[in-house]
Amino acid sequence: MIDLEPEIGTGGPAGAGVPARQRPLEPEGDAPDVGLIRSEAALLNLPEPLLAGDEPDAAPAPAAGRKPAAIVASALLPGAGHLFYGRFVTGLWILFFWGVGLALALQVRGDLSATLKGDRPLDHWIAAGSLFAYLAAVWGKAMADVAVRYARPPRTAGISEWAVAGRRFRKNRLAMIGLAIMTFIYLVTLMGPYLAPYDPNAQDDIVRTRYLAPAAEHPMGTDKFGRDVLSRVIYGARISLSIGFIAVAISVTLGTLIGAVAGYFGKWVDNLAMRLVDLLISFPRLVLLLAIIALFQPSIFLIIAVLGLTGWMGTSRIVRGQFLALREQEFVQATKALGYGSARIIFRHILPNSMAPIIVVATLGIGNTILTEAALSFLGLGVQPPTASWGSMVSDGKDALINAWWIATFPGLAIVLTVVCFNLLGDAARDALDPRLRS
Amino acid sequence: MTRGRGPTTEPGGCLLPLAPSPRSSPTRRLQLLPILLLALACGKAEREQPTTTPAGEAAPADGDRLIIGTTADVDALNYLTLTTLTAQEVAGELFWPLAEINPDLLTFHPGLADSWEFSPDSLSLTFHLNPRITWHDGVPLRADDVVWSMGACKDEKIAWSSIRWLDRIKNVTAVDSLTVRMDFTERYPYQLMDASVCRPTPKHLLEKIKPEEMRNAAFNQNPVGDGPFKFKSWTAQQSVELVANESFFRGRPHLDGVVWRIIPEWTSLITQLSNGDIDLVTGIQPTFYKQLAEDPDLQVYSAPGRRYVYVAWNLRDPLFGDRNVRRALTMAIDRQALIDALLYGQAKVMNSPFPEILWAYDPNIKAISYDPEGARKLLEQAGWKDTDGDGILDKDGKPFRFEMLTNADNTLRVDITVAIQSQLKKLGIDARPRGMEFVVFTQKLQNKDFQAAVAGWNSQIKVDLTDLWSSKSIPDKFNFISYASPVVDSLIDAGIAEFDTQRAKQIWSEAQQIVADDAGYSFLFEQFDINALSKRFKNVEMNSYGWDYNLPEWYVPKGEQKY
Amino acid sequence: MLTFILKRLLQAIPLLLGVATILFVVLHLAPGDPTSFYFNPDVDPQVIQLMRKNLGLDQPLHVQYWRWLTSFLRGDFGSSFAQHRPVIEILKDAIPNTLLLSSVSMVVIFVLGLLIGTIQAVRQYSLADNLATVISFFFYSMPGFWFALMLVLLFSYKFQLFPASQMTSVNYEYLSVPAKLWDRLQHILLPAVALGIGEAAGIARYARGGLLEVIRQDYIRTARAKGLSEWKVIFKHAMRNALIPIVTLFGLTIPFLMGGAVLIETIFAWPGMGRVIVTAIFQRDYPVVMATAFLFAVFVVLGNLIADVLYALVDPRIRYD
């Protein structure tokens, strides 16, 4: 066999001196791969060390003498502890996040104390809470890492389905990037009042301040009223994100309930529910949305309600499918034999086993809903001015596109970025939760 | 080049001074200019010389086409059934009026009718038709056509949009094949205007259509008129094309054709104008003014027109029942800042219910000017103070908070609500903008189901305040703010019956002052009409009647012709 | 198969009637009225009452519904309130334009999507694959109207490469035949791309996933072992099976293209169904809204049916009885 012969010639750098057959066994981690791929690759070639635990967990316990120093250091300065035992990258990141949080807190200490004294509106409370939660999370993460490192024995017992999925998810580097950006966007949104450089609705001398191109003073320029586009993008995020989030929560809950009931009970219930789904799916959604919005007055609550109530059909079909399959399985038959009530069987036994597709649908749905809200705002029927939402900002900027490209471009980019993140997460969740893709 | 507009002196005897319609477009005709006049105004009509024929330019030449970009489609091209502005523009070139108004606003000259005269008691008006006029299909236009058209315009089943203008025309009869007599129920200043508001349509093509079928007649998509341009084609949502009428009674227009292209998105529209794909865009948003004015290939017109914008306060709402509160709100709005900020200076602050192009407009009435301090004091006197320290004025425990409606499709109006919201906020007034669909907005106004609204009117050319300010118009007409002042009511009645211009002016002046003082509307501004046209078109005269005032006389010198 | 199709079509009838009925009620309940556009001092309120009577709007809702339903079932879509012409003519004008735009988009979607997906699958983990993954995520997540605006800004305004709107140039009719074709192509490119790019990105992801799954199968290994060229393996063996799920997407894309083009058609002034329906809603032009919405529902039903039929055609394992 040629394979067994020593390499002939100079040999490329890749294979120098190594029999070709061994190459597939080279460690995966060093390749410059991108998330998704890695887990797929793993699934093709290498069984993942499911039971062995992650690298830090599996590491041998370090010398006992360094333990207190690391913990104390971490407690005082999160991330410092990591440096003690050589996890420099993680340590520096934690240090960085801690620093950013502290700097922000310092910057807005006046605001913070005013908020605590109670003379600031609700959004400042939320911002203050988020800031503290953020700092607590960074500190907690640092401490937990250190504690795990020194205290908890490596796990060797069995791992739940969810833990497996979580591990697969964490291996997906693109998804982790998406998650990081998502977290960042949410943090910025929650702490909006501290981060936005200007009042998003403030108008000054319009003629002097309008249509300023992006520059140091206004990183994203100003719009036709001289309002700061960056501040409006930050504040607009609240509307767009909450609409996406709440509307999807409504539609997924509704879809799950209807799908579950239809799938579990079958017969005429199923028939009725599915005909309803067929009916609603055949509707031109835009017509329905426009008609309903005209019926009432456009407001953020109406838009959330309408988007939520018209978006559940896909979920219910999927859930029904799951239920149809699951209800015939032995464990369900067993619970029935035990005489459990329908509600208990549905919610305690079948539903947890159908969560995977629901999570995927929900994640992807948020992105879609944000896009739909943007389209409604583009038609002038979204959130009312002067409140900013990303969609209405694009709509506002479209007439000035030629002279002031930045007004429509930045909120558009914000939409794209957010939706990309949700899609990445949804995609990764699907990969992680799909048992067929599991080795 | 003065071909086209006909004789410049007034025909016939002393006519009542009201000229009919402004020229070419039906809207304009509907909203006729106020041409009131000197009682003895049988006058001489001076025609302004065309404005843009610089010496040394190439001679007028036939040929080339004008490509107009517009955002709204045409609905019907039948003069009797059309409703959209674009349709009015197009039909204005297809159908010609009996008598045309002159640019001096005082007199008028013959159109389809060579001449006309009133009977001694002024109760009937006789038109003598030009015998050379034919419809675009070659059939001659005769008195029967005019009589039939008048009947159609008055037919309730057709529901022609200006039907009420004809209420005081009792009979229309054909004296002979070229003479038409119209009998009026009474003598009043606007007889000639009303008599020529209904443009003739071809009887031989329309008489067989049942009135209730008129709105769906095939003629609407394939009209036959008598104007300087003939219908060529209409592709829904894309374009309407007209071609020169070689046998127009004043000779063919210079241009070979006019094309309206329908482009609903402003960005695309302006892009194509800059590229030269489109030659003319009218009613341009002020945002684009500067950019277009700097374009070396375009001639840009910007002048006061008939459009004005106002904030309407619902007088039945407890917040706005108090005149001083409304005055304070008007004082609190910095209208010049709105103009500078949102209209790039292309508008003028308005103080009177009449725009300045109307003859009855009085520039000397006492205006309510921008004065936030004064507004604060007035509000305080009226009991509005910020007692709970939340930054919003309150009275009897109720905050000064209201919704300000407008139609969301109109960006300018939405912007105005946003700017006013910000200005009023500084005084502690919480105005909440609310945009809605046009159809919903108008329904709310009609039902008086609103607190405040930013809206606009396209002023009539007839000088009259009845529809908007008379208490008669509260129940089912356009006085949706429910403004009622007995003094104004009687001034209006006196004004519209007054033949003497000087006395009429005084009456209207008094009415304007009261309406302005009562601040039922906070008048904001008169918007300029902004039109941008390719420089290759010469002899262009645009004025407050419209961009198409002398369209048949436009030409493109031979060397510059493009199509 | 034929009975299956027939059965599905029969089932569709009550469904479509239900859609039409609900829509009728919702539309008529919504505030606003087709005569609102006459809100103008030039138009007497009496004239408006008259128009309402002429249009039959003064009747009670059930009478209006019955009248609409009976004429609708006879195949008469009625007359547009706003455009004063039969709805059928409006549809006749708009449908071919929408079909043109959507078929070109469809070509963009499937050719581009399959091509990119295939390249990604064949060169898995290559730079091109990773790059395409990231880029397709971006296009997939982009609001179509925003992307369209960016296209206009860049390609029409900044570089002046393509016209910003409409189907043809002003001087179209004076052009030679090849020039006409070129003119049309230029006009359709931007809207077709704006409409199709998001879907194309979706298809690319499906194609990549599907192909990768197939490539792992034993018969592909066999084909390779036989010494077939890689491209032959991919196109002759792998592609056929990977196409199955994608083909069903074809059917499901149809209604999206018919109705989803609303904003794109507005931005590019494309005179198609999307613009008809939105304008009609804003004008409360009930007959037009009803007819277009009904057609849309028909497309959804047909699209689903086509998806199922195609599924059976490409996959012999699937049988409908």
And the tokens for B292?
């277009």
Distance CA B320, CA B382 (A): 11
CB B169 within 8 A of CB B184: yes
pLDDT for A50 equals 39
Contact state of B414 with A206 under an 8 Å Cβ cutoff: no
Query: Element (H or E) spanning B533, and its range?
Result: strand B521-534
DSSP string covering A223-261, please? -TT--BHHHHHHHHHHHHHHHHHHHHHHHHHHHHHHHHH
pLDDT over threshold 60, residue A304: yes
DSSP string, B407-433: ETT-HHHHHHHHHHHHHHHTTT-EEEE
Would you call B400 helix, strand, or coil by DSSP? coil
pLDDT band for position B379 (cuts 50, 70, 90): very high
Residues A398, C149: C-beta atoms closer than 8 Å: yes
Give the integer Cα–Cα distance in Å for B350 and B309: 9
Contact A412 C157 (CB under 8 A): no
Contacts for B380 with CB less than 8 Å, ≥ 6 apart: none
Using the Cβ of B274 and the Cβ atoms of chain C, whether some distance falls under 8 Å is answered with yes
Query: Is the Cβ of A381 closer than 8 Å to some Cβ of chain B?
Result: yes
Asked, as a colleague might, if the bond just before A386 is cis with ω within 30 of 0, I would say yes
Q: Which two tokens stand for residue A119?
A: 């003379």
Average pLDDT for A310-320: 86
Tell whether A180 is within 8 A of chain C (Cβ). Answer: no
The reported pLDDT for the residue numbered B232 is: 93
A and C: number of Cβ contacts within 8 A: 123
For C251, the 3-state DSSP assignment is helix
In the predicted structure, residue B187 carries a pLDDT above the cut 70: yes
Q: How far is CA A218 from the centre of its chain?
A: 28
Element (H, E) at B184: strand B179-184
What SS3 class is residue B230?
strand
Q: Which residues contact B517 (CB under 8 A, 6 or more apart)?
A: B323, B327, B366, B368
What are the phi and psi torsion angles at A187 (to 5°)? -60, -45
Q: Per the omega criterion (within 30 degrees of 0), is the bond before C96 cis?
A: no
DSSP codes joined into one string, A59-94 = SPP--GGGHHHHHHHHHHSTTHHHHHTT-HHHHHHH
Above pLDDT 90, what percent of chain B? 39
CB of C41 within 8 Å of a chain B CB? The answer is: yes
Look at residue A151 in the predicted model and tell me its pLDDT.
66
Do residues B471 and B489 lie in contact, with contact meaning Cβ atoms separated by under 8 Å? Answer: yes
Query: In C, which residues are within 8 Å of A34 by CB distance?
Result: 130, 133-134
Q: Are A332 and A349 in contact (CB under 8 A)?
A: yes
Nearest C-alpha neighbor of C220 from the set B554, A217, C212: C212
pLDDT (tens digit, 9 = 90+) per residue, A191-243? 878 788 888 887 777 777 788 888 888 888 888 888 888 999 998 888 888 88
Token code pair at residue A373 = 């809200």
Least CB–CB distance from C19: residue in A41, A283, A415: A283
The torsion of the CA quartet A78, A81, A86, A92, rounded to 10 degrees, works out to 10
Please write the tens of the pLDDT for every residue from B219-249. Answer: 888 899 999 999 999 887 788 999 999 989 8
Q: What does the alpha-carbon distance between residue B394 and residue B386 come to, in Å, rounded to a whole number?
A: 5
Alpha carbons C186 and C190: distance in angstroms, whole number:
8
What digits encode the pLDDT tens for the residues B462-487?
A: 788 888 999 988 887 789 999 999 99
* pLDDT on residue A26: 33
What H or E segment, with its residue span, contains residue B456? strand B452-458
Mean pLDDT of the B375-400 span: 88
Residue of B36, B43, B50 whose CA lies nearest to B2: B50
CA atoms of A24 and B89, how far apart (whole Å): 76
The string of DSSP letters for B192-249 reads HHHHTSS----HHHHTTS-GGGGGG-GGGGS----SSEEEEEEETTTEEEEEE-TT-T
| B272 has a chain A CB within 8 A of its CB | no
Nearest 5°: phi and psi at B231? -70, 135
Tokens of B317: 């709402």
Chains that touch A (3 or more CB pairs under 8 A): B, C
Q: Which residues of chain B does A202 touch, with a Cβ-Cβ cutoff of 8 Å?
A: 422
pLDDT score for B135: 93
**At residue A250, does pLDDT exceed 70?**
yes
Out of A110-114, B66-70, C13-17, C28-32, pick the least confident: A110-114
Q: For chain A, what is the mean pLDDT?
A: 75
Q: Worst-scoring range by mean pLDDT, B4-8, B321-325, B372-376?
A: B4-8
Calculate mean pLDDT across residues A394-413. 83
Q: Sign of dihedral through CA atoms B444, B447, B450, B455?
A: positive
pLDDT at B42: 31
Mutual angle of helices C61-73 and C2-29, in 10-degree steps: 150
Average pLDDT for B421-436: 89
What stretches of C134-258 adopt beta strand conformation (E)? none
Name the A residues in 357-396 with CB < 8 Å from any C CB.
367, 371, 374-375, 378-379, 391, 394
Interface partners of chain B (CB pairs < 8 Å, 3 or more) are: A, C
| C-alpha distance from A49 to closest chain C C-alpha (Å) | 22
Q: How far is the CA of A438 from the CAs of A31, A47, A398, A424, in angstroms? A: 22, 10, 47, 19
For residue B235, the chain C residue with the least C-alpha distance is C93
Instruction: Show residues of chain C in contact with B279, CB under 8 Å.
Output: none
Which residue in the set A37, A294, A424 is minimally distant from C31, CB to CB?
A: A294
pLDDT above 70 covers a percentage of chain B that reads 89
Q: How far is A352 from chain C (nearest CA, A)?
A: 27
- Measured between beta carbons, the chain C residues lying within 8 angstroms of A391 are 143
Tokens describing residue C250: 């074809």
A402 close to B (CB below 8 A)? yes
Of A202, A206, A401, Cβ closest to residue B341:
A206
**Distance, CA of C282 to CA of B439 (rounded, Å):** 7
Residues in chain C closer than 8 A to B77 (CB atoms): none
A286 close to B (CB below 8 A): no
DSSP annotation of C153: I
Nearest-CB residue to B268 (from C40, C269, C276): C269
Q: Does B438 touch chain A (CB under 8 A)?
A: no
- Put simply, the chain A residues between 34 and 53 with a CB less than 8 A from any chain C CB are 34, 36-37, 40-41, 44
| CB-CB under 8 Å, A381 with B437 | yes
Closest Cα partner for B128 from B153, B106, B110?
Answer: B110
Burial C144-174 (b: 16+ CB within 10 A, else e): bbbbbbbbbbebbbeeeebbbbbbbbbeeee
Cα–Cα nearest to B88, from B213, B166, B212, B197: B197
**Cα-based distances in Å from C54 to A218, B116, B556, C206:** 57, 37, 46, 53
DSSP state of C152: I
- pLDDT greater than 90 at residue B148: yes
B202-213 confidence digits (pLDDT tens):
999 998 888 878
Residue B137 CA from chain centroid, whole number: 31
Decide if B537 contacts B551 (C-beta within 8 A): no
Residue B57 binned pLDDT confidence (cut-offs 50, 70, 90): low
Hey, which of A16-30, A135-149, A156-170 has the most confident mean pLDDT? A135-149
pLDDT of A87 strictly over 80: no
pLDDT in tens, chain C (321 residues): 788 888 888 888 888 888 888 888 888 888 878 887 777 666 677 777 777 887 788 888 888 888 888 888 888 888 888 777 788 888 888 888 888 888 888 888 888 888 888 888 888 778 888 888 888 888 888 888 888 888 888 888 778 788 877 777 766 777 788 888 888 888 888 898 888 888 888 888 888 888 887 877 788 888 888 887 877 787 777 777 777 777 777 777 777 666 657 788 888 888 888 888 888 888 888 888 888 888 888 888 888 888 778 777 766 666 665
The larger pLDDT score, comparing residue C263 to residue B127, is at B127
Q: Which amino acid is at B482?
A: S
pLDDT of residue C317: 67
Mean pLDDT, chain B, integer:
83
Do the chains contact at A385 and B437, CB–CB below 8 Å? no
Assess whether pLDDT exceeds 90 at residue B180: yes
Query: pLDDT digit string (tens) for B289-342?
Result: 888 999 999 999 988 888 899 999 999 999 998 999 999 999 999 999 899 888
Q: Which residues of C touch B477 (CB under 8 A)?
A: 41, 45
Nearest CB partner across the interface for C39, out of B238, B437, B446: B446
- Give the pair of three-digit tokens for residue A400: 């000035």
| Res. A2: pLDDT tops 60 | no
What's the N-to-C CA distance of chain A in angstroms? Answer: 31
* Residue, of A163 and C171, whose pLDDT is higher: A163
Contact A385 B422 (CB under 8 A): no
3-class SS letters over B32-57: CCCCCCCCCCCCECCCCCCCCCCCCC
Is B342 in contact with B334 (CB distance < 8 Å)?
Answer: no
**Does any CB of chain B come closer than 8 Å to the CB of residue C146?**
no
Query: What integer is the mean pLDDT of A393-406?
Result: 81
Q: Of all residues in chain B, what percent are helix, strand and coil, respectively (each to 5)?
A: 30, 20, 50
